[in-house]
Amino acid sequence: MYQQELNAACDYAHSFLYQGAVATYIPQLSLADPGALGACIALPTGEHFCCGDCETRFTMQSISKLVSLILALQTSGYSKVFSKVGMEPTGDPFNSIIKLETMSAKPSNPMINAGAIVISSLIDSPTPFEDMLEFTKKLTMDEGVALDEKVYLSEKNAGMRNRAMAYFMMSEGIIEGDAESYLDTYFKMCSVGVTARGLANLGLVLANDGVDPHTGERLAEDWMVRIVKTFMVTCGLYDSSGEFAVKVGIPSKSGVGGGIVSSVSDLMGIGTYAPALDKKGNSVGGVRVLEYLSQNLNLHMFAKR
Ligand code: GLU
């Protein structure tokens, strides 16, 4: 049943890909194939159902914000983290600067770029990126996870806006220490290569409240996972999060590399890859796959099961 529905979801999504375009503001991302589409469902039993390009490697981009938030909560604790970053959705684009000056230098939430840069300053470790990489391997159950050097350098060169935000927040005392090293950590985290299958596994661990269902190992405390999934609902699809919550209703996080990770509590993880993005930066194909699966498998978080 899952395989059939997934195939049908991919077929449905394919017909919308032409409506999107790959990201170009990070030059290396513009090399992605706009016709690519892959999706994977991971179940607690260890079964995987895949269609299309579900083993293609692409960079996590904003999806890394979930992983870095857990690491910051683990190493700096709840109070410190939320003294530096808020909990409110913005309704603004992910790289918007405006509220930092007009509202508060404390970023509204950890899922926008400004918030994630602060979060990277709150990973209390001498090796924040290496920790993040190891943690991502575990969460995605994928030893092939690695830094995409070309995307990293491309991001670093093109990251003027992120740099501007980091230095502004430093001038306001939100970021303390070495802004360049936090930015470097952030750029690297965004440039970690994953697959749709790996994202499905990540979604599954979140669906299972932080425990890898195959090994029984607890990878994150359940209260941290609850926080992460709440942000996925309220801020996971940039300034489309409200519409996505109504139409799809599955806690999800997208990235401009074309990935979306989704987590259906107690049931499954879903990973999608389709680098053609809509105007707000969400994967056109991924959103359509999820819309189809939500309707046909009754996955909306408020659906009666
Ligand atoms: N590295 C990207 C940036 O900083 C991440 C954006 C995203 O995926 O939303 O703009």
The reply to whether ligand 1 has any atom less than 6 angstroms from the CB of 120 is: no
Q: What is the pLDDT of the chain when averaged over all its residues?
A: 96
| 65, 84, 106, 138: the active-site residue | 65
Strand 38-42: give its sheet, edge to edge: 48-52, 38-42, 268-273, 259-264, 252-254
The protein residue whose alpha carbon is closest to atom 7 in ligand 1 is 62
More confident residue, 104 or 197: 197
How many Cβ atoms from other residues are within 10 Å of residue 91's Cβ? 13
DSSP state of 119: H
The reply to whether ligand 1 has any atom less than 6 angstroms from the CB of 255 is: yes
pLDDT at 27: 95
Q: pLDDT tens, 230-251?
A: 999 999 999 999 999 999 999 9
Give yes or no: 256 in active site. yes
- Picking from 6, 53, 54, the residue whose alpha carbon sits closest to that of residue 296 is 6
pLDDT at 99: 84
Burial class for 145, CB neighbours closer than 10 Å (0-12, 13-18, 19+): buried
pLDDT at 210: 98
Question: How far apart are alpha carbons 302 and 289 in whole angstroms?
Answer: 19
The rounded Å distance from CA 162 to ligand 1 centre is 9
The rounded Å distance from CA 13 to ligand 1 centre is 23
pTM of this prediction exceeds 0.85 = yes
